[in-house]
Amino acid sequence: MMNAIQVSELTKVYQTAKNQPPLHAVDNINFTVHAGEVFGFLGPNGAGKTTTMRMLTGLVRPTAGNASVLGLDLATAITRIKKQIGVVPEMSNLYDELSAFDNLVFAMQLYGVPRAQRQTRAEELLARFRLSEKRDAPFAKLSRGMKRALTIAAALAHRPPLIFLDEPTTGLDVMSARNLRQMIAGLRKEGVTVFLTTHYLEEAERLCDRIAIIVKGRIVALDTVENLKSAAQTKTLVELTLADANNCIETRPIEGETVEAAARAALAQTDGRRVLAINTLRPTLEDVFVKLTGLKADVMLIEKGGKGGGNAGG
């Protein structure tokens, strides 16, 4: 199957000020996004996530390197690429005064969706993003979560096989973020390829088939969550849960060369108490992140200023 995105030695250097060294916002990165997968770009503030996305969607010119998007060459075919992808930037690009419905119809007009299909398609998108009730409400009057959902709906107006989402759930409350994640998971079921950037480890873990961890413009790891965890795990751990005669419960981790050895070691330490459970312990994605980046996991929770505030509902 064709790759949805193939990136080779992509680099963006900004010359910020005359007396400052140039900033390598994106520093010689390589990766491939498979058709049909949800691919996560996970990294802290300033890592280069948005810059990468802006290069791949034709909003910023790479300083060096190249990419192919949907089999088309970024350097020469950007106009054709733009017609075939959906893009949801951090800040919505919809019109405040237009209703939810009209915003969708307008997006379809821009993408050349035939007039006869626009109405039906707009109603379908509203229903799917649970916005039918808000059909005639101006965009400005929607809640933050609804705005985000409508912006994604508009990016899907022309049924793109590939969609880019820049931090789709940042600034949303827990419920809205959860709803949006369900919608993103739904896209995957339909076979849409999703490239998404996020700060949230948990979001990446739940939604993404594969994750690239990006720090200071470089990809420090790229794999499935399972493989990242296996790579980060140096020893096998099991967790032994015991209950004594008074039903006091104790839980302790026990190491071993293999799961079997750890379990055997655990069973040798029961002191006659009842064994309630022996579970294999796996590192969390947070453990993986800390190990690979040397950063604390809470760097990911730092909210950015001037982005509309709100709670970081992870």
Ligand X SMILES: Nc1ncnc2c1ncn2[C@@H]1O[C@H](COP(=O)(O)OP(=O)(O)OP(=O)(O)O)[C@@H](O)[C@H]1O
Nearer to ligand X, 58 or 161 (CB): 58
- Which residue's C-beta sits nearest to Mg ion? 50
Nearer to Mg ion, 49 or 121 (CB): 49
CB under 5 to 8 A by kind: which of ligand X, Mg ion, none does 43 bind? ligand X
Report the distance separating Cα 109 and Cα 245, nearest Å: 72
Give the range of 5-13, 42-50, 169-177, 248-256 binding Mg ion by CB under 5 A.
42-50
Give the residues lining the site for ligand X (CB under 6 A).
Answer: 14, 16, 23, 25, 43, 45-51, 199, 304
Nearer to Mg ion, 49 or 147 (CB): 49
CB under 5 to 8 A by kind: which of ligand X, Mg ion, none does 46 bind? ligand X
Give the range of 41-49, 125-133, 181-189, 296-304 binding Mg ion by CB under 5 A.
41-49
Q: How many residues bind Mg ion (CB under 5 A)?
A: 2
CB under 5 to 8 A by kind: which of ligand X, Mg ion, none does 16 bind? ligand X
CB of 26 to ligand X, least distance (A): 7
Asked if 243 contacts 296 with a C-beta cutoff of 8 angstroms, the reply is: no
CB of 179 to ligand X, least distance (A): 22
Asked if 264 contacts 270 with a C-beta cutoff of 8 angstroms, the reply is: no
The yes or no reply on residue 57 touching Mg ion (CB under 5 A) is no
CB of 41 to Mg ion, least distance (A): 9
CB of 29 to ligand X, least distance (A): 12
CB of 16 to ligand X, least distance (A): 5
CB under 5 to 8 A by kind: which of Mg ion, ligand X, none does 47 bind? ligand X
CB under 5 to 8 A by kind: which of Mg ion, ligand X, none does 310 bind? none
Lookup result for tokens 């994604």: 152
The yes or no reply on residue 50 touching Mg ion (CB under 5 A) is yes
The residue ranges that bind Mg ion (CB under 5 A) are 49-50
